Amino acid sequence: MQLEFIGPFEILLGLVYRFWPVWLALGILLALSLGFKRRLGLYGQLFDTGVGVAGVLICAFWLFTAIFADLVAPFAPLDQIFVMKDALPGAVEPETGRVFLLGGDKLARDVFSRMVYGSQIVLIIAPAATAFALMVGTTLGLPAGYYGGRVDTVLSFMANLVLAFPVILLFYLLVTPGIRETAIPQWLAGFFFVFPIVFFGTLFWTRFRSRPRLLAVQLAITVLLGGWVYLGLVFDADPLGIIAIEPNELNIFVAVVFASAPGVFRIVRSLTMDIQTRDYVAAAQTRGESPWYIMLWEILPNARGPLIVDVCLRIGYTTILLGTLGYFGLGLAPESPDWGTAIKESSRLLRAYVHPALPPVIALMSFVLGLNLLADALREQSLKD
């Protein structure tokens, strides 16, 4: 059966049209940001440079694409329409007259829709894993830098141990179907996911110890919320049934946190060692504040500049790591629409068909580029102050 095609210009028009909720949201965001630029602090200053605007727009574009994926994508990510197997871009599906804007892959799925749904997976796992890595790295990096000595030696040795592993080897050992039969991912998850609870608990405890009423409320919220998420993620036993995670996703998540936490640790440690020599730290010590109060309420807020930049870069790096996992077929399901898996699937058939490979490749590259540009602009701004 012969398929009908639409022209390149119509494809472009169709793509622009499909993204309409994203354009709308971007427009609102841009208008609000420019309108209230003065009051937005560091974020507002980003709009002073071209690099900053480009970074914000690219990141926001993918964020909104992930949020509105159901509206943007014309097909479900796993829909197979047999006649569209390996269809070239712009092919019209004969039954409903809808268009495969970027063509079909070898399993007759719409490449465009898969790319859009792939953004959801990437934009959930990458920032979340980075957030956990940040918690772990900060909670361990602060005492290592502050106390120095034996604490530092032991923690640094462990961090270097992980850093000496080539990432790919770590993933090949840690993300396998075999390891999911053992309890190791659960153990690691149990270990890592405790850190946010400890972090926030200590954070509130040190500051509000003298105001027991307020402290009780905050600690209760931390323990309840943290415990709820902890139960859901580690034991897959969320009493409300809202938070659930597949074993393979937990495995990936833990591996990515494991691989990037030592990097955060090193940065926090060196920042702490630097800031520790400042006068306001000495003043706090003279006031008789506890070490953890100084670390969390004096040192950490003053380390935020480099940390924000690092978080931006790290989300990009985590995206690349996720892509690597997908590319080697580790952890993610083979039919998963995430970009790395899509690149793996399509790069094998590059000789026959080029079109299924390019959308995920460009998507991944542009998202990481957006984050890197954002980090660069943030660094410029923080150097100005």
Partner 1 sequence: MLTFILRRLGVMALTMVCLTLVVFFLVNLEPNLKKLAISQLDMRSSQEDLESWLEANGYRQNFFVRYGQWLGVMPKQPNVDPATGEAVPRFRYCDEPAEPHYSGILQGEFGCSTKFKVPVAEKLFPALGATGILMFWVMVVMVPVSLLVGVLAGMREGTRTDRSLSVASITTTATPEYVSGVIFTVVFASWLGILNGSAATATSQGINFFNFTLPVMTMAIYGTGYIARMTRASMVEVMTQQYIRTARLKGLSFRQVVMKHALRNALIAPFTVIMLQFPWLLTGVVIVEVMFRYQGFGFTLVEAAGNNDIDLLLGCSLVSVFVVLSTQLISDIGYAFLNPRIRVK
Half-sphere exposure of 104 (CA within 13 A, CB side): 24
Among 82, 351, 384, 385, binds partner 1 (CB under 8 A): 351
The answer to whether residue 183 forms part of the interface with partner 1 (CB under 8 A) is no
Half-sphere exposure of 176 (CA within 13 A, CB side): 9
Among 32, 78, 161, 237, binds partner 1 (CB under 8 A): 161
Judged by CB, which is closer to partner 1: 151, or 365?
365
Contact track, partner 1, 355-374, x by CB under 8 A: --xx--x--xx--xx-xxx-
- DSSP state for residue 195 in the 8-state scheme: H
Residues of this chain, 312-341, that bind partner 1 according to CB under 8 A: 316, 320, 323-324, 327-328, 340
CA distance 78 to 253: 23
Given a contact cutoff of 8 angstroms between Cβ atoms, the answer to whether 116 and 73 are in contact is yes
CA distance 6 to 192: 51
- Name the residue among 183, 155, 337 with its Cα closest to residue 254: 183
The answer to whether residue 179 forms part of the interface with partner 1 (CB under 8 A) is yes
CA separation, residue 43 to residues 48, 49, 86, 308 (Å): 10, 12, 44, 11
CB of 361 to partner 1, least distance (A): 5
The answer to whether residue 154 forms part of the interface with partner 1 (CB under 8 A) is no
CA distance 5 to 99: 8
Among 164, 240, 242, 383, binds partner 1 (CB under 8 A): 164
The answer to whether residue 376 forms part of the interface with partner 1 (CB under 8 A) is yes
CB of 35 to partner 1, least distance (A): 28
Instruction: Tell me which residues touch partner 1 (CB under 8 A).
Output: 51, 157, 160-161, 163-169, 172-174, 176-179, 181-182, 184, 316, 320, 323-324, 327-328, 340, 343-344, 346-347, 350-351, 354, 357-358, 361, 364-365, 368-369, 371-373, 376
